[in-house]
Structure formats: C-alpha cells, structure tokens
Amino acid sequence: MQLEAAIQNTINVWLNGNYDQQTKEEIQNLITKEASTELTDAFYRNLEFGTGGLRGIMGAGSNRINKYTIGTATQGLSNYLLKKYPGEKIKVAIAHDSRNQSDFFAGIAADVFSANGIHVYFFSALRPTPELSFAIRELGCRSGVMLTASHNPKEYNGYKAYGADGGQFTSPDDTMVMDEVAKIKNIDEVKFERDASNIELIGEEIDQLYLDKITELSVSPEAIARQKDLKIVYSPIHGTGITLVPKALAQFGFTNLTLVKEQSTPDGNFPTVVYPNPEEKEAMTLALNKAKEIDADLVLATDPDADRVGIAVKNNDGEFVLLNGNQTGSLLINYLLTAWQEKGKLDGNQYIVKTIVTTNLVEEIAKSKNVEFFNTLTGFKYIGHLITSLQGKKTFIGGGEESYGYLIGELVRDKDAIISCAFIAEMTAFYKDKGSSLYNAMLDMYVEYGLYKEELVSLTKKGKTGAEEIKAMMEKFRNNPPLTLGGSKVKTLKDYELGIETNLDTQEKTKLDFPKSDVLQFITEDGSIVSARPSGTEPKIKFYCSVNAPLADKAQFKTVDAKLGDKIKSLMADLQA
C-alpha cells in the first residue's frame, strides 16, 4: 500500500506520538486492512477549524472528530481568549446535543478550558444550541462551545464556537481563533488535565430564565387564550428539542400537544430516520402519520440541536403538506409585522433580516409595512452580528434563512427552534382566531405579494477529489457565467468572493458591501435568481433557485406553482449544460 508522503508522515506522528492506545489500534487496523482510501481521507489534512468551528466524521485521524481534534480546537480557542482578555477571569459555557460521544467531547472541551484557568459553565445534560447562546449572554461569558453536528448523519459530530455576544465568531475574531488553532503543531501543547475548581454545573435555572424571557416576547396572547386547544404534533427527532419545546409551548398557553413518542427519546443513532433533518420528508413521516391520526392543526419537528424547525400544515384538500424554509420564514415575518402593526407597535425603528439566498418575498413584505430590512451573507452568524451592532439603536423583530432557521427577538444570536416553535404555534392560533388557517394565510400572502417559489439543489462530492471538483465548478461559473437561464437573459452576476457586481450587458462593475464569501448569484431579466455556493459544513455544492409570478387568485395556486416548478427545472438544466 502506497500513500502520499505527507499523509504517511502524519500517520507516523499519530502512531508514535502522545495518543492513546485505542486510537493507535484503530489506525493500525486500517493499515493492516490496506484501507488506503479511508487512511487518505482520515489524514490528508487537519480537520479545518473554519469560521463556525469543526464538523466531520468521528474516528481516529487528523481529519476526523476525536478527543485530539476537539482538544486542539479548545486549546486554540483558549489561547485566543487569554490573549484577547488579559488579566480577566474569563468565563465560557459548554453544551452538547444527543449525538454519540457529544457528552464525552463536551467533557474534553471542559477539561482543556479549565486546565487553562478559564471558568466553565457546564450544562449538566443535553441542551439546545440556542439556549447555549442565551447562557453566554446571560452569564457574561466571553465564549461558548456547542458539541453538535446539527442535522448531519449519525457518524458526524462537530464543535460550534461562539463569541461574547452569543453569536458564532465573525471577522476579525474568527480568523484570530483559526490562527491560534493552526499554531498548535503538537498534541503535547494541549492541556488535557481538568481543574475541577474551574467547572460549574448549570441547568434548570437557565431553562426557566430562558423560557420566561421567550414568553415575554409573545405578541398575540389573547389569540392563544382563545385557541389554546390548538392540536399540535411535535417531534424532536431524537434530539435536544424535547428538553424545552414542550415547556415553551405550555408556557405560551397551548394545552393540546401530542409528542411523537418513537422520536422523543434522545438517541445519537437516530434509529427512526435516515437523516435527522426536518428538511427531509422522510424524517417527518412519523409526525405526519400522527397528525393525520388526530387531525392536527400544526406539525413541528426540530433537528438534533434544536436550532432549526420544519413544519407541516393541512391544505384545502385536507392533506398535510410540508412547508419549506422560505415559506415558513415568509409566513413568520408576515405574521410578526401584521401583529405588531395591529397592536400599533411599528414606529419606524424596527427591522427584519434575511440572508442573500433567502426569498425576496420577505423583502417585499417588509417594504409594504415600511419596515427596514437587511440582507446578510449565508450563515446565521451574520444575522447575529448585525443584531449586536444595532442593539440599543433599532429593534429587531425577526429574521431567518431558507435552511429552516429563524429568530424572533434579541435574546440569542443564533437560529432558535425553541422560540420559533412557540411563535409558529402562536401564528397558527392568530390565523385560526380569524377563521383562517396557516395554509390559507400563505395563499393570501401570495395573492398580495406574488407567488415566490424556491428550491435548493445540492450536489454531493465527497472526499479530497470531491472538494477539488467543487472548486473547479465554482471557477467555471465565475469565469464563464451562463448567458441565459430558463429562457431569460442573465443580466447580473454578483460575485461575493471578489466583492463585485457585474452588469453583463455593459460590463459595468460595482462594489458589493459584504464580507468575502464564495458565493455567485446569477440574476435574469425576468427576476429569476440562482445562487451557487459550496457548503461550509457538508461535502456539497448548493444551488439556490428562486422564481416568482403574480397570483391573481388563490384558486390558481396549484397551476402557477407547477409552472414555476418547471421554470426551476429549466434553470438548473441550463446551469448544468
């Protein structure tokens, strides 16, 4: 078996270095089996500590999630904190989800922080990601870590790093942390010896504080009081949502919650699903079956770390339909602005936020209500950073991104499925109280603002060769943009990596006021948009397609929707030609 010299050198370091025997045996077994592909993928690079932290497959190796890559990341983060806050008693918070080994990796992170003299608030049991963000802010921490791989398959785990505002690190701090992690060249530089005096357990007291403050955000308590027996089905998909979503719904005033029992026990093997992802219809199957059984008004399902939520509602034919992230996000913003307006709370000082790949319908709704809106790059950390920068100057009502992540209010700085579940239920009660349904509220929204249809098309390219293929595809699109998409001329190319918007008719270039990001957007004459970007957390290149058309009447929804679906297929066919 012949491996590249650099890969073999890294393997030798792990076999001869200060690593435990179990790790060395795992590597030796792969060598004995001559598993060159697995060895190459496990050792061809150091698992990159990116702008959001780490995410990868669990196992032995420099490109895997294990005690040593988690320890190295935490030592680098500790070094950053000690340099940034010299002479200060630094505090951090740590939480973990239900994934296999998440609790173990959380313990490793606590060991390393404590050994570096940093005080750790350690959640005594699994908790959702947004509660960690809340705890960082509430407890005056300088940083925090969440052990989760979000909605990835069961073999993955990850490490989300947060700054003092409760949001994931943004520039320049993200680069500073990454640099500190990269500086660690030897595992002996990592302090693994726990100092128990620096670790303090937290739990239910933070839960209650968080729930109380969420409840204060409620806009339509009267509607909930009248519709408190709204039939809600909820699944945590074997994750952390079970700790807080039922309590949040109860505290808002909902009394008729049905749990999907088969998915209510936290389990890192996710035994009832292929992917623990509420974007996948398959993951929602048990919840939909329960909803049909009891004739529910609303179906909610959260991912393992409970920062994202998928929903289903009944259409006018009595069938349960899944809403995508753009539909739910648009409904939430439309509801919030409508409810705030009805209460006379809109005074021109409020704003909402979305990302550049999220539906422009949100923008149209905000304009109609004279509410300021902002676009940010993809990644909720940019929304969180904006909220922090405007804190005390303007009031954030809500916002989100197409990937099923939303936030209402300023309590946290990450997407929050706990708050979102409570407000989606409140929104359902609000419309039911007016004699409508969430589905009809969506159709009414489309009649008023136009029918916007979005679709995400992902191409998976695994391993080293896959990463190279994705890079080559982006270069091709960048240097040779398509002339037409879906039968309409491409008139604008936005290149967020170069920070340039180009009018393809005149070749006139203008500067884009965004941080650098490897995203390309093609905008056609008829208003269709295709955005291409490599995923930051998965081996995928993603294409976000958005098309729209007027909807004169609710009865025409299915016809117009089908035509827009055909248009998206045409867009993608042209792009892949």
Among the listed residues 218, 380, 197, the one whose alpha carbon sits nearest the alpha carbon of residue 305: 380
Three-state SS for 257? strand
pLDDT at 1: 79
DSSP 231: -
H, E, C per residue of 141-207: CCEEEEECCCCCCCCEEEEEEECCCCCECCCCHHHHHHHHHHHCCCHHHCCCCCCHHHEEEECHHHH
Residue 174: both structure tokens together:
């993200």
- Give the residues across from 158 on adjacent strands: 55
CATH topology identical between 47-208 and 223-449: yes
CA–CA distance, 472 with 478 (Å, rounded to integer)? 10
Residue 410: both structure tokens together:
């300023």
Among the listed residues 540, 411, 401, the one whose alpha carbon sits nearest the alpha carbon of residue 469: 540
CATH code: domain 47-208 is: 3.40.120.10
Structural element, H or E, at residue 314 = strand 309-314
pLDDT at 496: 96
The predicted-structure confidence for 16-38, as pLDDT tens digits, reads as follows: 999 999 999 999 999 999 999 99
DSSP 276: -
Do residues 356 and 375 touch, judged by C-beta distance below 8 A? yes
Render 237-255 in DSSP notation, one character per residue: TTSGGGGTHHHHHHHHT--
Do residues 167 and 384 touch, judged by C-beta distance below 8 A? yes
- Which residues are the active-site residues? 150
HSE of 236 in the Cβ direction (CA atoms, 13 Å)?
Answer: 28
Residue 493: both structure tokens together:
């190319």
pLDDT at 577: 64
Residue 414 backbone phi and psi in degrees, to 5: -145, 165
Among the listed residues 342, 343, 373, the one whose alpha carbon sits nearest the alpha carbon of residue 359: 373
pLDDT at 102: 98
Q: Return the residue matching tokens 């055909």.
A: 566
pLDDT at 561: 97
pLDDT at 49: 87
pLDDT at 556: 97
- For 465, residues 6+ apart whose C-beta sits below 8 A from its C-beta are none
CA–CA distance, 464 with 539 (Å, rounded to integer)? 10
Q: Please report, in tens digits, the pLDDT of each residue of the chain (577 residues total).
A: 789 999 999 999 999 999 999 999 999 999 999 999 999 999 999 998 887 899 999 999 999 999 999 999 999 999 999 999 999 999 999 999 999 999 999 999 999 999 999 999 999 999 999 999 999 999 999 999 999 999 899 999 999 999 999 999 999 999 999 999 999 999 999 999 999 999 999 999 999 999 999 999 999 999 999 999 999 999 999 999 999 999 999 999 999 999 999 999 999 999 999 999 999 999 999 999 999 999 999 999 999 999 999 999 999 999 999 999 999 999 999 999 999 999 999 999 999 999 999 999 999 999 999 999 999 999 999 999 999 999 999 999 999 999 999 999 999 999 999 999 999 999 999 999 999 999 999 999 999 999 999 998 888 888 878 888 899 999 999 999 999 999 999 999 999 999 999 999 999 999 999 998 999 999 999 999 999 999 876 789 999 999 999 999 999 999 999 999 999 999 999 988 6
CA–CA distance, 128 with 246 (Å, rounded to integer)? 13
Residue 376: both structure tokens together:
């940010």
CA–CA distance, 529 with 541 (Å, rounded to integer)? 16
Q: Return the residue matching tokens 């407000």.
A: 423
Give the Cβ contact number of residue 75 at 10 Å.
24
Residue type, 179: D
Render 355-394 in DSSP notation, one character per residue: ETTS-THHHHHHHHTT-EEEEE-SSHHHHHHHHHHHTTTS
Among the listed residues 365, 375, 333, the one whose alpha carbon sits nearest the alpha carbon of residue 450: 365
CATH superfamily ID and name for 223-449? Alpha-D-Glucose-1,6-Bisphosphate, subunit A, domain 3 (3.40.120.10)
Three-state SS for 69? helix
Do residues 411 and 419 touch, judged by C-beta distance below 8 A? yes
Do residues 78 and 90 touch, judged by C-beta distance below 8 A? no
Do residues 76 and 184 touch, judged by C-beta distance below 8 A? yes
CA 187 from centre of chain: 31
Residue 165: both structure tokens together:
């505002």
In the chain, where are the structural domains located? Answer: 1-44, 47-208, 223-449, 452-576
| CATH architecture observed for domain 452-576 | 2-Layer Sandwich (3.30)
